[in-house]
Amino acid sequence: GPEELLVPTQGGPVRGFRVPAGPPPLAAAAFLGIPYAEPPLGPLRFAPPRPARPWPGVLEATAHPHACFQPVDTMFPGFGGSEMWNPNREMSEDCLYLNVWAPSPRPPAPAPVLVWIYGGGFYSGAASLDVYDGRFLAAAEGVLVVSMNYRVGALGFLALPGHPEAPGNVGLLDQRLALRWVQANIAAFGGDPGAVTLFGESAGAASVGLHLLSGASRGLFRRAVLQSGSPNGPWATVGAAEGRRRAARLGRLLGCPGAGAGGAVTNETELLGCLRAAPPPRLVEHEAAVLPQQGVFRFAFVPVVDGDFLADTPEALLGGPGSAEAEVLLGAVQDEGTYFLVYGVPGFGKDNESLISREEFLGGVRLGVPQANELAAEAVVLQYTDWLDQDNPVKNREALDDIVGDHNVVCPLMHFAQRWAERGGTVFAYLFDHRASNLLWPPWMGVPHGYEIEFVFGQPLNPGLNYTAEEEQLSRRIMRYWGNFARTG
């Protein structure tokens, strides 16, 4: 009834609304746009988040608020396969809000909670995307689903390590503050704060892994799901010195004082003042140019090994001693590399077969493993070449898919799984190999990065979306796996 839609929280009461969630009578109670942090504006830009102030009266939690500032993908204008990842709300720095979906009617006992952290290379993403709609998962599995916006790009990950007002990792601290909000408030929605499972994909999965490795986050959740990403990937973190260099480079590109040539910070206060004054679109516009080399699957502003959130590199922390470990579910899709190839490697296209010559293959290796020297690149070529058929354009295309996918997702994930198991953690692994019947990307791309998400969130239960009956069953099965994992590990 209406009483389950009016929920008390520490910041004040919130009112949600009931949404249909599959065939009647399945429904969920949705609470959209609950503030969990003070808007990170003015002097709070680049700074760790502060808890939201209480509000007077009842907060109407009925619409997704702003998305955080990010570049909009214009590679394939009007094409649904890329547009589905673009922010579907106006962008603003005032973006730190979270959403809760609860089964309706409310379950009799406190229910497990699944907290979603979106991906997007730490430079993009929004909890308001249609594909992250938590209603189907909440209703089908009788769990609570929570998602939060967190700051991305320079606004979330610019780092002047050691500087209290721009320490780096504030996007991860946004996530952690949302997890604290869940601990404090989720019981009022019918959730069990002792049964929180994090799940995320790509940079969201890397984030989940970083919370697993960060002492101050570990008490805020019980289990973790890493979909197509891990904290030890070559793109997921940078060292403190490189983080500082990238902040200085951004300052140079904006013409700020305090940033010297070659990535030196000459005056932190001046640099920070100038970066704080810049309009967000200007920051976004220059972000990519701070990268040290051209390549695919590399992002400019990412988590930094700061000695605080991350005591050491993810690699070192994984090899170190473990405590009683969280159970982990992790996996990848069949074709992790193709999405990045179509964006960044010559010879690949959305509207053709992307048959790759030997020349294009060799060039693609340099972009696919951008930090490799000549010798390492040669080793990659040797490993992935069929020498009896080295001019086969289909094999060259598939080899590059494997190289980009293995280097960035599959190998780091398998390494994470092995290390986690060695520390005494339980690991469940999957490979997702179903290509959706209504997928808009071309057949050569197979099952691209990100295309298990719609099945995890139960999108095939939405009759307007043209999935097959078998796909609805597959989605129900996957939701059941994720739900069972959240319930019992």
DSSP string, 187-200: GGGTEEEEEEEEEE
378 noted as active-site residue: no
Domains, the chain: 2-235+301-339+405-488 (3.40.50.1820), 240-290 (no CATH)
Residues 326, 259: contact at Cβ < 8 Å? no
Q: Count CB atoms within 10 A of the CB of residue 365.
A: 23
Kindly report the backbone phi and psi dihedral angles of residue 175, in degrees, each rounded to the nearest multiple of 5, phi listed first. Answer: -60, -45
Catalytic site includes residue 202: yes
Q: Beta-carbon neighbour count of residue 106 at 10 Å?
A: 17
To the nearest 10°, the Cα dihedral for 446, 450, 452, 455?
A: -130
Three-class DSSP category at 157: helix
401: left (phi over 0), alpha (psi -120 to 50) or beta: alpha
Q: Active-site residue among 449, 452, 472, 475?
A: 449
Per annotation, catalytic residue among 104, 124, 202, 475: 202
Active site residue 336: yes
User: Of 336, 360, 454, 472, which is the active-site residue?
Assistant: 336
**Count H helices, E strands: the chain?**
17, 14
Q: Kindly report the pTM of this predicted structure.
A: 0.98
What amino acid is encoded at 318 in this protein? L
pLDDT tens track, the chain, 489 positions: 677 899 999 999 999 999 999 888 999 999 999 999 999 999 999 999 999 999 999 999 999 999 999 999 999 999 999 999 999 999 999 999 999 999 999 999 999 999 999 999 999 999 999 999 999 999 999 999 999 999 999 999 999 999 999 999 999 999 999 999 999 999 999 999 999 999 999 999 999 999 999 999 999 999 999 999 999 999 999 999 999 999 999 999 999 999 998 889 999 999 999 999 999 999 999 999 999 989 999 999 999 999 999 999 999 999 987 766 799 999 999 999 999 999 999 999 999 999 999 999 999 999 999 999 999 999 999 999 999 999 999 999 999 999 999 999 999 999 999 999 998 999 999 999 999 999 999 999 999 999 999 999 999 999 899 999 999 999 999 999 999 999 999
